[in-house]
Structure 1
C-alpha cells in the first residue's frame, strides 16, 4: 500500500492554511496599491492614515495623551483631569491608559466628569449590573418567578418560593414586588379541608369558613365594640366642640352688653345715640379675615365636588401627586390607593390636621396645575363672603 498519499494531502492542507492566513488583513483597510494597512499599537496614535502609503504612527505623550486601542485610524486622546473637589486620583495617565478618577462611595463619574449618586432599583426591579466608579446601576424589572422587595443598588431579583411550609397555606402568588404570601393554618378564621369535598384532596389547603358559629361570635363582638367606642368618641368630640362654641358665644354677648351699656351712657349724657353694632362690625370683619378657613368646614356637597374633580385624572395630575405635596409618605399613599375611594380617604385624613386650610390646599393644587379645582374652591370662598 502506498503511504505517500496521506502525506501529500497533509502538506497541501498546511500550504492552503498558510496562504489563507496571509490573505487575512487584520485592519480591514488597504493602501492604494492593495497592501494591508498596519495597526498602531496601544500607546501610539495615527499621524497619517493609510492611503497612498501604509499607516504612520507616533507614540503618545506621557501624562498628556493616551491610546488604549490598536487601530489604523485612532489618534492619541488627551488625558482626563480630576478637577472636581469630590474626585480623588486613583492612577495617573499613561500612554496606554487614561487617568482614573474615583467618586465618593455610592457615586459614579458620568461622561461630563461629574459625580452623581448611584441609582437605587425600586421594588419589583433587580440589579443587573452594580454601580462602578464610571458606570451607573443598571436595573431591570423582575421576570416571572422572581421578585425584589427592597430598594437597593446591589440586590438582584430573587427566585420565588415554589410552595409554602407544611404548616402554612398560600394566600397570594409571587409578583415582582414580593414573594408568595403564606399564612399559618392554625389561624382561627381558617381551616383545611379534611376530605375530598368539591373534588379536592385532603392534602390541598383552601380557605373555608368555619361552620362553628361560636368562633365567629368573638369577632362580631370585637367589631361591635369598636363601633360603639368610635360612636362614643365622636359624641364626646361633638360635645366638646359645642361647649367651646357656646363659651365663645357667651364671651361675645358679654362684650356686646358692655359696649351697649357704654353707648347708652353716651346717649344719656350728650343726647347722641351710638349704634353699638356698627362699632363692633369692623372688629368682626377683621377677625373673619384673620381666622383661616378650614377644609373641614366646607359643606359636604362642596367636598364631594372637589373629590370628584380630583378623581378625574383626564383634567390633570392625579390625587397621588396631591398627597405627596401635602406631605404624605409613599407607603401611606399606597395604603390610600388600596381603598375604594382613595381621594375621599386622603382628604378626610388631611382635614383632621390643624394645618388643613384652604390656602394650603390651593397652593398644592396650583403646584400640580389643577386650576379647575382651585377655581371651584374660590367660588366657594366668594359665595361664603357674599353671605
Structure 2
C-alpha cells in the first residue's frame, strides 16, 4: 500500500555525477542491492546523520571520511545495516571502502559508505568487494531511476525528485533520491537521502543548507516513532554548472535554496506516502504556539499516538483521541478556551469542548479522504510548525513481524 501515484520524475542529469547499480547478492540473490554515486573532482559534500547512539559502522566511518578528504564516491548497500556489529562491522566497512578506492584509484577517505537493512547481522563484505568492478564499469549520468530502486528495502516504490532552474545565464540541475518506509522518526528519520546539484556552493553555505533543509523536511516526518541506526542525508555540489561560487550574499542564493527545499520536501513526503502499510498521508499543523519546541511537541505527540493513527486507518472521526493527545503533550499553562482543533476545514474543538457547529457527518467526510490535515491552534504565540505522518494499519504489523523471514 502507498498513498498517491508515486511515479518517478524525469531526472535532470547533474553535471559531475554518475550513478551505478549491480546485484551483489547481499540478502537475496539477483536483487539489485549495491549502488555507487561517483562525484567529479572538486565536488563538495555535507550531510546530517542519525542521533541514535548505536549508530552503524558506516555512519561512524562516513563522518570520519567527510572530515579527512574530498569525497569522490558514495557506496550504498541494502539488505544489511552493518549496525550492532561491533569492531568486525567497522573492519568490513573499511574493507569495502578500501576496495572501491583501489578499484577507482582514489584515497580511502574519498569513499563514503552507507548501509541499510537488517540490524545485527555481519556484512557480507566479500560479496560487495567482488561486485565493485562491475559496479564502477556501469556508471552513467542517466541512472538516477535505477539508483532510486537500488536503495529500497521495505519500500514499495522508488522515490526521487528533480528540478531545473536558471541562475543568471547558467542552468542548474538538482536531482535526488531517498528510501524509507519504516523505522522512521526524526533525528534523523531507517532513511537515506542523496541530493546532488551541479551548482557551486561555498563550503559554509553547503553545510548550513544541509542542516537547515534536512531539519525542515526529513526531521519533520515520522512513521512509527523509531529512530534508526543508519539514517543519513547528503547534499552534494559538484560546481560543474559553469557559473560563479554561490555564497550567502549571492543574488542567486534564495532561488537555489527554494529549489533545493522543494526537492528535500518531495523526497521526505515520498517516505511518508510509502510508510509501511500506509493508506493515508497526514499533515499535522500547529499554529500560534509559544515556541518551535512547543509546536513540535504537540505535533509529534499527535503523530505518534497509536489511537490517533488507528482511527485514521479506520477513517473514524474519533476526535477525542486527538484532543487527548494534545492535552498530554506537556504544554504548560495551556488555555483550553483559546485552543481550537480542526480536521481539514471542520472545527472539532473550540472553547474547551466539541465545536457547536461540528457534526459526525462532516467529520466523516474529512476522514474518508486519502490526504488529511489536522490543524491545532494553541492560541499562545506566533510560532507555526508542520509535520507529516501516516496511519497505522494491519499491514504495518505484518510487514515488521515478517521482516526477517
TM-score, with length taken from structure 1: 0.19
Structure with the bigger RCO (C-alpha within 8 Å, sep 6+) is 2
Higher strand share: 2
Which protein has the bigger helix share? Answer: 1
Who wins on radius of gyration, i.e. which is larger? 1
